[in-house]
């Protein structure tokens, strides 16, 4: 059941993030990244790595360009955010805000870094950092509204080892 919920959430996230755009800057919320970061936040680095791989693979298959870039960036972001899992109080609503803000910046940097290595034409100028900042701020604002239902599902069913 939890795998069905997980993959249904991925499909819903893909549909939502491809249909929503904000700020007339072409900024779209990255709901798939939010799933990776919240999974890493709640379960630790190796779950962040696994979830980042699956979600990155799905995103790479959907976008069809540069297969592997989303796998690599989402895996690394999930792993690095997951390293803080044993040290935090998950019920504090400020934690997901900070996690999404930092995780979005980390993911943006990793995407720029690895994208420039594989030949994606991305300028490292001020404009890209402003876009990453807007996205990180938007994710931070969105965090409490998404985290509460995510955490309730997590506690009841999703990553419960018994189900």
Find the DSSP H helices in 20-124.
Answer: 31-43, 45-63, 69-82, 94-118
Tens of pLDDT along the chain (163 residues) come to: 677 777 888 888 888 877 776 555 667 788 899 999 988 998 889 999 999 999 999 988 888 777 889 999 999 999 999 998 888 877 787 888 899 999 999 998 898 888 888 877 777 776 777 878 888 888 888 888 888 888 877 777 655 555 4
**Domain extent listing, the chain:** 2-158
Under a CB-based contact definition with an 8 Å cutoff, are residues 85 and 45 in contact?
A: yes
Under a CB-based contact definition with an 8 Å cutoff, are residues 72 and 50 in contact?
A: no
CATH code linked to domain 2-158: 1.10.1760.20
């Amino acid at each position: 059941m939890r795998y069905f919920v997980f993959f249904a959430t991925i499909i819903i996230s893909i549909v939502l993030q491809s249909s929503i755009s904000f700020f007339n800057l072409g900024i779209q919320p990255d709901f798939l990244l939010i799933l990776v970061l919240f999974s890493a936040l709640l379960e630790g680095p190796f779950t962040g790595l696994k979830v980042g791989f699956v979600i990155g693979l799905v995103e790479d298959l959907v976008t069809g360009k540069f297969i592997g870039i989303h796998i690599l960036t989402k895996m690394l972001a999930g792993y690095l955010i997951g390293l803080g899992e044993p040290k935090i109080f998950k019920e504090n609503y400020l934690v997901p805000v900070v996690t999404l803000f930092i995780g979005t910046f980390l993911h943006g940097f990793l995407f720029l870094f690895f994208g420039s290595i594989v030949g994606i034409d991305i300028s490292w100028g001020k404009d890209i950092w402003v876009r990453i900042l807007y996205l990180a701020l938007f994710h931070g604002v969105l965090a409490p509204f998404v985290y509460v239902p995510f955490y309730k599902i997590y506690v009841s069913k999703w990553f419960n080892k018994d189900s």
